[in-house]
Amino acid sequence: MATQETPLIQARGLEGVVALDSELCFIDGQQGTLIYRGYDIFDLARHTSFEEVAYLLWNGHLPNRSERDELLARLQAERTLPPMVAELLGMTPEDASPMAVLRSAVSALALFDAEADDPSPEANYRKAIRLTARIPVLLAAFDRRRKGLPPVPPRKHGSTAFDFLHMLTGEEPGEAAERTFDTCLVLHAEHGLNASTFAARVIGATLSDIYSAVTGAIGALKGPLHGGANIEVMRMLLEIDRTGRDPVQYVKEKLARKERVMGFGHRVYKTLDPRAAILRDMVEALSEERGQRKWYDYSMKIMETMEREKGLYPNVDFFSAPVYYMLGIAPDLFTPIFAMSRITGWTAHLLEQWKDNRLIRPRAAYVGPRNLAVRPLDER
């Protein structure tokens, strides 16, 4: 036990601080490299499914066919909601933010999970699978209800991407839509010690339970500086479309007003986010395929303007927005979809945290007054 005070390091927003060791993710922000457990994101996006990536993050190696099938079967079996949670969804205001609904519903799921407070690695792994299986069911059920549509029950077969799109629309997605959406899930699954993952680990490091940590992570992801940016991106694209404004002028005026253009800039990447590069190609392909070239054109003009005016590059949220939109998904579901995928990264980090736990507890530099004396209440 140290007897002397540990020297303090000042880093606003914890920028550049290394808080822990992790085997999950490597990011080179200068080169634009992203690696999950040794595998490059371009390779994963091209050759793996979301379920394979979930397995990789949780278990440390890519699954063989039988391991993949077993995980898929477990996910499919967990695609149910406790009746009370389904009832809770039925009582939420229809105009509630889907992220707020998700946050509350995930917290409520804990109340109906007999294993919620079981800290064993086996129980936590089961809960990671359960959460990954149930978040899509929650989101689709809420979206259908607020649209006045009957729920589409989850199926006990098919991929997460297939089942989610089916529950959302009531129609079986085509192979191309399923593959596009599945790749989006792969791209969002993990990203090192980002704000929501850090929030999850901070909560987990107190030895609180997995549901509490994930609920906190959802709260962090909701913010527009983090996952909430994808909703703002779509709002911007829709406004440009509705008003017929020139995207270049639109962005320049926003910058002149000192406003942030969502979907640009990153704490770690100082070049193009590799996920954005993959998503950009997806926007181009979908725009062509669906005869909606305008979304690609607006996006590219905004991208070029931001690079020229501010030297800022798109992050994952910029091009994911038009992809989801062209898949027919409501803009306010974009951030919940991020959570639907990132649940795998959050839970992988929690499993890792609990293998070698230490409380996460930084310090604040006190800049308030000192030596004040308390005066009696009547004299203040």
Give catalytic residues, as residue numbers: 226, 266, 317
Pair 101, 94: CB distance under 8 Å: no
Structure tokens, 200: 């999850």
Of positions 2, 6, 13, 373, contacts ligand COA by CB under 6 A: 13
Burial-class residue 194 by CB neighbours within 10 Å (0-12, 13-18, 19+). Answer: buried
Looking up tokens 């898949």 gives 327
SS3 of residue 9 by DSSP: coil
Binding to ligand COA (CB under 6 A) within 228-247 occurs at: 229
Instruction: Give whichever of 75 and 343 is closer to ligand COA, judged by the CB atom.
Output: 343
Asked if 260 interacts with ligand COA (CB under 6 A), we say: yes
Q: How far is CA 183 from CA 61, 176, 370, in A?
A: 19, 11, 55
Instruction: Give whichever of 265 and 322 is closer to ligand COA, judged by the CB atom.
Output: 265
- Shortest Å, Cβ 368 to ligand COA: 24
Binning the chain into helix, strand and coil, the percentages to the nearest 5 are 60, 5, 35
Asked if 283 interacts with ligand COA (CB under 6 A), we say: no
- Shortest Å, Cβ 258 to ligand COA: 7
Instruction: Give whichever of 82 and 192 is closer to ligand COA, judged by the CB atom.
Output: 192
Instruction: Give whichever of 62 and 261 is closer to ligand COA, judged by the CB atom.
Output: 261
Asked if 316 interacts with ligand COA (CB under 6 A), we say: yes
Asked if 262 interacts with ligand COA (CB under 6 A), we say: yes
Asked if 263 interacts with ligand COA (CB under 6 A), we say: yes
Host H or E run for residue 69: helix 65-77
Asked if 310 interacts with ligand COA (CB under 6 A), we say: yes
Asked if 312 interacts with ligand COA (CB under 6 A), we say: yes
Nearby residues of 321 by Cβ (< 8 Å), 6 or more positions away: 230, 231, 233, 234, 237, 263, 331, 334
Of positions 179, 267, 294, 301, contacts ligand COA by CB under 6 A: 267
DSSP annotation of 379: G
Phi, psi of 194 (to 5 degrees): -65, 175
Q: How far is CA 42 from CA 181, 226, 289, in A?
A: 15, 22, 22
Binding to ligand COA (CB under 6 A) within 181-210 occurs at: none
Of positions 198, 264, 313, 346, contacts ligand COA by CB under 6 A: 264
Instruction: Determine the size of the site formed for ligand COA (CB under 6 A).
Output: 17
Of positions 32, 204, 265, 345, contacts ligand COA by CB under 6 A: 265
How far apart (Å, rounded) are the C-alpha atoms in residues 261 and 264? 6
**Residue 323-352 contact track with ligand COA, rule CB under 6 A, x = bound:** ------------------------------
Q: For residue 19, count other CB atoms closer than 10 A to its CB.
A: 14
Closest CA to 163 of 131, 142, 133: 133
Angle at 103 between CA 101 and CA 108, to 5 degrees: 90
Instruction: Give whichever of 256 and 377 is closer to ligand COA, judged by the CB atom.
Output: 256
Asked if 225 interacts with ligand COA (CB under 6 A), we say: yes
Asked if 214 interacts with ligand COA (CB under 6 A), we say: no
**Closest chain position to ligand COA (CB):** 265
- Shortest Å, Cβ 12 to ligand COA: 9
Nearby residues of 220 by Cβ (< 8 Å), 6 or more positions away: 195, 196, 198, 199, 226
Closest CA to 328 of 355, 362, 292: 292
Instruction: Give whichever of 7 and 13 is closer to ligand COA, judged by the CB atom.
Output: 13
- Shortest Å, Cβ 200 to ligand COA: 16
Asked if 266 interacts with ligand COA (CB under 6 A), we say: yes
| Binding window for ligand COA (CB under 6 A); candidates: 136-144, 168-176, 224-232, 369-377 | 224-232
Q: For residue 149, count other CB atoms closer than 10 A to its CB.
A: 12
| Binding window for ligand COA (CB under 6 A); candidates: 20-28, 314-322, 337-345, 370-378 | 314-322
Handedness of CA 331, 334, 335, 337 (dihedral sign): positive
- Residues near ligand COA (CB under 6 A) are 13, 225-226, 229, 260-267, 310, 312, 315-317
